[in-house]
Amino acid sequence: MGESLIRPYPCRLRLSFESSTFPRLFHRSSCFPSFHYCLDAVPESHPQTGLIARAVLFDVDGVLVDSARCVERQWGRWAKEHGMDPRHIVPIAHGRRPVETMRLIAPSLNAEAEAAAITAREEEDLEGVKPVPGADALLRALGDLPWAIVTSGTRRLAANRLRHVGITLPPVVVAADDVVHGKPDPECYLAAARKLGIPPSEAVVIEDTPAGIEAAQHASMKVIAVATTHPMSALKIADIVAGSLAELRVTSAERRNGCLTASLWCEGPGGRR
């Protein structure tokens, strides 16, 4: 039986930025006076937890695209060429830019040159790349809510893989070649928020790696983690942990105080940490 994170009380928890919206029990946060939360204690077969978002920021690999076979194949090939054990390298490579991975695993090598070589291989390798179940449905459910791509891969790599699975690039994309510091540094997520024109705290990020989660949290963003490349136990620092993208649900986008928002939650055995 797989891992799961289960909250002790099966009820729906929804976060809202205005108390007049829901006629239930509200509490005012002592840290953020304008922020309220609401507990709607309706028993359900699977607990649901919700986060309000003005935009959703998606990682690519392991979130919208299943590229695990390609990543493991190319990093495994590189490891063997350099006399290293792929089992120690692949978990580090997930969620990081290749140049940062190289600096961690092979500090004596030219990180930029090695990263460029493996990136070139990955950009041409689409064997085994496939859509993540639930990705298309979730993107359609967002409706007019803005969303963006924030990836540790290059823009070309992201475009190739997303096109391969039938997903069109959104207007806002922040890739490895757009930043100086990669995840877990928050630079990429802060750049996406600036391009979208929203405060970082009003974005929800969907990630699959500890490095990506840390980057989003350092940017003061809320995070939903999906256990595709890492076990749930490794993702507990996220606000919500889902077993898969298919467990995520989103309300129809609506305007509140002039801003388009939507609520995202996990409908499954996962839940708030």
Q: Which of 61, 66, 125, 185 is catalytic?
A: 61
Q: How far is CA 35 from the centre of its chain?
A: 24
Residue identified by tokens 């976060």 is 15
Q: How far is CA 116 from the centre of its chain?
A: 24
For the question of residue 61 being annotated catalytic, the response is yes
Q: Any idea what DSSP says for residue 169?
A: P
Q: Judge contact between 54 and 198, C-beta under 8 A.
A: yes
Q: 252-261, long-range: CB within 8 Å, 24+ apart, which pairs? A: 252/143, 253/142, 253/143, 253/144, 253/145, 256/17, 256/18, 256/21, 257/17, 257/18, 259/54, 259/202, 260/54, 260/144, 260/145, 260/146, 261/17, 261/52, 261/53, 261/54, 261/145
Q: How would you classify residue 152: left for phi > 0, otherwise alpha for psi between -120 and 50, otherwise beta?
A: alpha
How is residue 77 written in tokens?
């090939």
Tell whether omega for the bond before 184 is within 30 degrees of 0, i.e. cis.
yes
Which helix or strand (DSSP H or E) is residue 242 part of? strand 240-242
3-state secondary structure of 123: helix
C-alpha 245/C-alpha 272 separation (Å) is 15
For the question of residue 178 being annotated catalytic, the response is no
Q: Give counts: helices (H), strands (E), the chain.
A: 8, 16
Q: Which residues are catalytic?
A: 59, 61
